[in-house]
């Protein structure tokens, strides 16, 4: 008897649940069909910058159709590579060497025209040097208040972003017709490079004449993993004392772990390490599996760039250093002894 009642109640509940579930799903898919996202993909010298594929992942989380955008010269192979990325339905390409260096003066009108033409509801780009330089200019051309450096998508118009060096997490709702969004790379994985077969189309090219010239670049050459996407990062701070000591102590440990090298602002300002290695609010944001730092006190500006790391390990001689409040494992000691010892033991 009891069983029957339970069975009956269960079926009743199912009856209530089922239709609502179905209609809910229908609503969602109807909603998703209206969304069409553009993922702005960065290419350099005919190479797709894989980090920019996080923009595709963000678009996937939103739902709706996904188009990739690539501009520059000699981009055929990049376009074909991007067309295979899972979830991308279409690639809009504009072949013109004027866009090789992504100068915002010409690239922003190019993007704005293509966004208007295709009627995208959402535009995603990485919050990288490329995206930061370009997207606000696009937003101004389209009269949109951009949403910078998001870490999560809560809905079609609602997004989460850290402010105040990551000390306040804001959920914002946009009333703009087009949502222009830059995303924090560490919060969205890189989309799968295989599994898609996107249609390739030519975009519009407004060919805006500009007076800005690109003169030169000087990029630090490194065979190590890229800091922003590395699964392990070894980072040094002021405690390293000099560039010689930094170079003597940090790279061997990084190599023993297969890690990228990072640095605090103090280390960069003192000339121990290159600017591009700075981790923090005004440098790079990293979220590796392991963030191992030596001689870094843990100022809030530094924590802003690394506190989403899975495991944080710290070596510091000052037991009261703020870094120990966030470190999963801390070792108090002189880094000049401890780091070489650690390097040796890891090599074994």
Partner 1 sequence: MPTPLKILVPVKRVIDYAVKPRVNKARTAVETSGVKHSMNPFDELSIEAAVRMRESKNPPVDDILALSAGPAKCVDVLRTAMAMGADRSIHVEIPDAGQGQAELEPLGVAKLLAKVVADEGRNLVILGKQSIDDDSSQTGQMLAGLLGWGQATQASKIEIDDSDRVTVTREVDGGVETVRFPLPGIITTDLRLNEPRYASLPNIMKAKKKKLEKKSLSDYGVDERRRLKTVKVEEPPPRKGGGKVEDVDGLIAKLKELGAI
Quote the Cα angle for 21-23-26, to 5°: 110
Residues 171-210 contacting partner 1, CB under 8 A: 171-176, 210
Residue 216: Cβ-neighbour burial (10 angstroms; 0-12, 13-18, 19+) = exposed
104-118 and 129-142 helices cross at what angle (nearest 10)? Answer: 60
CB 227 within 8 A of CB 277: yes
The DSSP call for residue 278 is B
- Closer to partner 1 by CB, 92 or 294: give it: 294
Say whether 340 sits in a helix, a strand or coil. helix
Among 70, 79, 296, 315, binds partner 1 (CB under 8 A): 315
The DSSP call for residue 284 is B
If one asks whether residue 138 binds partner 1 (CB under 8 A), the answer comes out as yes
Among 46, 129, 199, 347, binds partner 1 (CB under 8 A): 129
- Closer to partner 1 by CB, 86 or 206: give it: 206
If one asks whether residue 342 binds partner 1 (CB under 8 A), the answer comes out as yes
If one asks whether residue 52 binds partner 1 (CB under 8 A), the answer comes out as no
Distance CA 60, CA 184 (A): 15
Among 23, 242, 329, 334, binds partner 1 (CB under 8 A): 329
CB of 141 to partner 1, least distance (A): 5
Residues 207-266 contacting partner 1, CB under 8 A: 210-220, 228, 232, 257, 265
CB of 327 to partner 1, least distance (A): 6
Query: Nearest CA to 286 among 247, 229, 240?
Result: 229
Residue ranges of E strands in 19-127:
36-40, 43-44, 47-48, 65-72, 90-95, 122-126
If one asks whether residue 97 binds partner 1 (CB under 8 A), the answer comes out as no
Q: Which stretch binds partner 1 (CB under 8 A): 52-60, 90-98, 116-124, 126-134?
A: 126-134
Residues 140-159 contacting partner 1, CB under 8 A: 140-141, 143-149, 158
Indicate the annotated binding residues for FAD.
238, 264-265, 278-282, 295-302, 316
């Amino acid at each position: 008897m009891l069983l029957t009642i339970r069975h009956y109640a269960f079926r009743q509940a199912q009856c209530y649940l089922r239709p609502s579930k179905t209609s809910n799903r229908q609503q969602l898919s109807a909603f998703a069909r209206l969304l069409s996202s553009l993922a702005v993909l960065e290419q350099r010298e005919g190479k797709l910058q894989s980090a920019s594929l996080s923009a595709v992942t963000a678009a996937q989380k939103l739902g709706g159709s996904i188009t990739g955008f690539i501009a520059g010269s000699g981009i055929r192979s990049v376009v074909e590579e991007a067309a295979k990325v899972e979830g991308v339905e279409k690639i809009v390409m504009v072949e013109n060497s004027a866009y090789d260096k992504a100068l915002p003066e010409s690239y922003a009108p190019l993007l704005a025209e293509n966004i208007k033409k295709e009627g995208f509801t959402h535009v995603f780009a990485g919050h990288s040097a490329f995206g930061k330089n370009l997207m606000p200019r696009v937003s101004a051309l389209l009269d949109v208040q951009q949403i910078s450096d998001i870490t999560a998508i809560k809905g079609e118009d609602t997004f989460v972003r850290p402010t105040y060096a990551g000390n306040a997490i804001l959920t914002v709702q946009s009333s703009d017709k087009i949502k222009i969004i830059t995303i924090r790379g560490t919060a969205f994985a890189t989309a799968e490079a295989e599994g898609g077969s996107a249609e390739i189309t030519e975009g519009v090219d407004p060919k805006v004449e500009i007076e800005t010239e690109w003169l030169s670049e000087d990029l630090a050459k490194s065979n190590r993993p890229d800091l922003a996407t590395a699964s392990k990062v070894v980072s040094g701070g002021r405690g390293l004392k000099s560039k010689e000591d930094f170079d003597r102590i940090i790279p061997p440990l990084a190599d023993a772990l297969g890690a990228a090298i990072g640095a605090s602002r103090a280390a960069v300002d003192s000339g121990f390490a290159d600017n591009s290695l700075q981790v923090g609010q005004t440098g790079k944001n990293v979220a590796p599996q392991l963030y191992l730092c030596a001689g870094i006190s843990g100022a809030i500006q530094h924590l802003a760039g690394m506190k989403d790391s899975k495991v944080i390990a710290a070596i510091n001689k000052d037991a009261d250093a703020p870094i120990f409040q966030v470190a999963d494992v801390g070792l108090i000691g002189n880094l000049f002894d401890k780091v070489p010892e650690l390097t040796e033991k890891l090599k074994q």
